[in-house]
Amino acid sequence: LAKTTQPISMDSYEGQEVNITCSHNNIATNDYITWYQQFPSQGPRFIIQGYKTKVTNEVASLFIPADRKSSTLSLPRVSLSDTAVYYCLVGDPFVYNQGGKLIFGQGTELSVKP
């Protein structure tokens, strides 16, 4: 399973765009990149998932360069309620002996200030 590295913490202000970069140098061919958001004492919430290039949904964008060794989660115009821990995960959902388990790192603690 590919190991991920992301900043431990980031600060931002309301209305700014926040970009959190995750490194995954050993990503495998069948691996997908998934980002989760977690508020204190709550379960992680799926934000976005991608394989290559760019993925966008109503919450965020995910940029994945051609070599797929890194990815960037982009949160447009953050608000105070976006203060949370963001996890970047890499893995192949289908490999049977993995059972689709998710390997979480420490995550990035994003603090949005007024």
Partner 1 sequence: DAGVTQSPTHLIKTRGQQVTLRCSPKSGHDTVSWYQQALGQGPQFIFQYYEEEERQRGNFPDRFSGHQFPNYSSELNVNALLLGDSALYLCASSLAPRASGEETQYFGPGTRLLVL
Binding to partner 1 by CB under 8 A, coded x per residue (else -) over 47-86, reads --x-x-----------------------------------
Q: Phi, psi at residue 97, to the nearest 5°?
A: -70, -10
- The least distance separating partner 1 from the CB of residue 82, rounded to whole angstroms, comes to 18
Instruction: Indicate which single residue of 75, 87, 90, 110 sits in contact with partner 1 (rule: CB under 8 A).
Output: 87
Nearer to partner 1, 18 or 50 (CB): 50
Instruction: Indicate which single residue of 2, 18, 34, 70 sits in contact with partner 1 (rule: CB under 8 A).
Output: 34
112: Cβ contacts below 8 Å, ≥ 6 apart: 11, 12, 13, 14, 18, 78, 79, 80, 81, 82, 83
Nearer to partner 1, 26 or 98 (CB): 98
Q: What is the token pair recorded at 86?
A: 């963001």
Pairing verdict, β 53-56 and 18-23: unpaired
